[in-house]
Structure 1
Amino acid sequence: MREAAFCIVDLETTGLDLTTDTIINAAAVKIKKGRITKIYETYVKPPTSIPPESIQFHGITDDMLVDKPSIGEVLPEFMTFIGDSMITGHHINFDLKMLDRHLRENYDCNLEGAPWLDTMLLHKLVMENNTSTQLDDLLNVYCIDCEQRHRALGDSIATAKVFLRILHELSNSYQTLNDLYRAQQDMSRKENM
């Protein structure tokens, strides 16, 4: 499992509607051999103005994005950076669905069937009785600081650090990436019952 390549992904968006909102900040952090090896970040100019409630959440304004590329221009480079790494993130389902929608709209392709890991579910394998699911809670549990919380790069680096701590905690229980993936999928099914 130590040889596996992981890519921690985080997106900031104009809102939470998977059908109408759009990506405005994307970051990815590559992990190989138990350490962060590469970092990618980009800002994206949305087709519409960012709602005030979203600006209040992440602090990204329309003025900051005036000269930034469109999502269609960003996706090829972003997906190339991810490559064949295992996509990983915190509450990654939202990010995957948002990314998948933009891939379908811009390039008629999708992430269907792509394997993924979620630090929220993996943490529950470490601490089964812990009901805490927010990234801030996990940062506290693992004593990790986060610079620029609610920005894609800050959140992806913090999530990468959480993920590395979780991998360390689970290394004696799960010998292969497939074992870990199956355990997470079982946890996901339990969550959805």
Structure 2
Amino acid sequence: MKFATWPALLVVDVEGNGANPPDLVEVAALPVRDGRLDTSTAGWWLTRPNSPVTPFAARVHGLTNDALADKPAWTEVADQVRTFLGNTWICAHSAHTDYRVLSAHLPGWEPAGVLDTLRLARNVFPDLGKYSLDRLIDHVRPDLRKAPGARHRATFDAFATAQLLIAMASRYDTWDQLVAAAVPPGLPGAPEPERDPTLW
């Protein structure tokens, strides 16, 4: 894989308040350039949700209502996030979720495409059985010594997802092959299905 041929790409992860639909409490966006993570220009935002963080969500990611009480509301950082994301490609694990939540919070935003490391892993490791982020970390053993934060925080999960993406992408020769394996149908960037030449 020639990583230099990749378009601009951000690996993203979001954490919510546990409501349905969720309010965002954390967003991380980590650039991948030439097959390497660029932590020096990563974006990271903590926000105070409109509705309280549920006890279950707080147990998962550790972001309590008290910890977020002095953080800006989403409306105060939305333009920053939109500008940072731009219209680049994004990647996430179980990308439908992150794409759906970000789209709901950024009306009119549309990335160039969406890579999903969950879908990619099912193609790369067809016999693995389970494809959670933890299972893939155990299987691939990426170097997470410099990962910021802890598991289930957006910064850590984006870092881990980026490392997994790079490791799995090395199985493919071209960007187009990677896209075919990693972009879920119906999401931006999905390859157009081949048209039957016999049809008018």
TM-score range, shorter chain: 0.7 to 0.9
Mapped to 1, the partners of 2:163 and 2:181 lie a distance apart of 21
Aligned partners of 1:23 and 1:71 also within 8 Å: yes
Matched, 1:103 2:106: yes
Query: In the alignment, is residue 161 of structure 1 matched against residue 163 of structure 2?
Result: yes
1:60 matched to 2:58? The reply is: no
Q: Give 1:186 shift.
A: 7.0
**Percentage identity across paired residues of the two chains:** 28
Residue in structure 1 matching 2:73, options 50, 53, 70:
70
Aligned-residue CA RMSD (Å): 2.2
1:11 touches 1:152 (CA, 8 Å); kept in 2?
A: yes
The equivalent residue for 2:87 is 84
Whether the 8 Å CA contact 2:115–2:184 is kept in 1: the answer is: no
CA contact (8 A) 1:121 1:187 kept: no
Structure 1 CA distance for aligned equivalents of residues 150 and 19 of structure 2: 20
Q: Map of 1:34-183 to 2, 5 A cutoff? A: 34-37=35-38, 38-104=41-107, 109-111=108-110, 114-144=112-142, 145=144, 147-168=149-170, 170-172=171-173, 175=174, 177-183=175-181
Give 1:179 shift.
2.8
Distance change in 2, residues 1:121/1:44 (3 Å): same
Alignment partner, residue 194 of structure 2: none
Question: Following TM superposition, by how much is the alpha carbon of 1:96 offset from its aligned partner in structure 2, in angstroms?
Answer: 0.7
Question: Does structure 1 conserve the Cα–Cα contact (< 8 Å) formed by 2:15 and 2:24?
Answer: yes
Residue 25 (1) aligns with residue 18 (2): no
2:161 alignment partner AA: T
Listed as ranges, the gaps of 5+ residues in structure 2 are 187-200
Distance 1:166 1:97, change over 3 A: same
Give the corresponding residue for 1:191.
none
What runs of 5+ residues in structure 1 fail to find an aligned partner?
189-193
2:128 maps to a residue whose letter is: N
Find the aligned partners of 1:184 and 1:165 in 2 and give their Cα distance. Answer: 13
- Structure with a larger share of its residues in helix: 1
Partner SS, residue 57 of structure 2: helix
What count of residue pairs does the alignment treat as equivalent?
178
Q: Alpha-carbon deviation of 1:114? A: 4.3
Offset at residue 183 of structure 1 (A)? 3.0
Conserved in 2, the CA contact under 8 Å of 1:101 and 1:110?
A: no
Question: How many angstroms apart in 2 are the aligned matches of 1:186 and 1:94?
Answer: 12
- Scaled by the length of structure 1, the TM-score of the pair is 0.83
CA distance in 1, matches of 2:179, 2:62: 34
Residues 154 and 186 of structure 1: CA distance in aligned 2, closer, same or farther (over 3 Å): closer
Deviation of 1:77 after TM superposition, in Å, equals 1.4
State the alpha-carbon separation in 2 of the partners of residues 68 and 186 from structure 1. 34
Larger radius of gyration: 2
Work out whether residues 11 and 25 of structure 1, in 8 Å CA contact, stay in contact via their aligned partners in 2.
yes
C-alpha contact 1:91 1:120 (8 A) present in aligned 2: yes
AA matched with 1:152: A
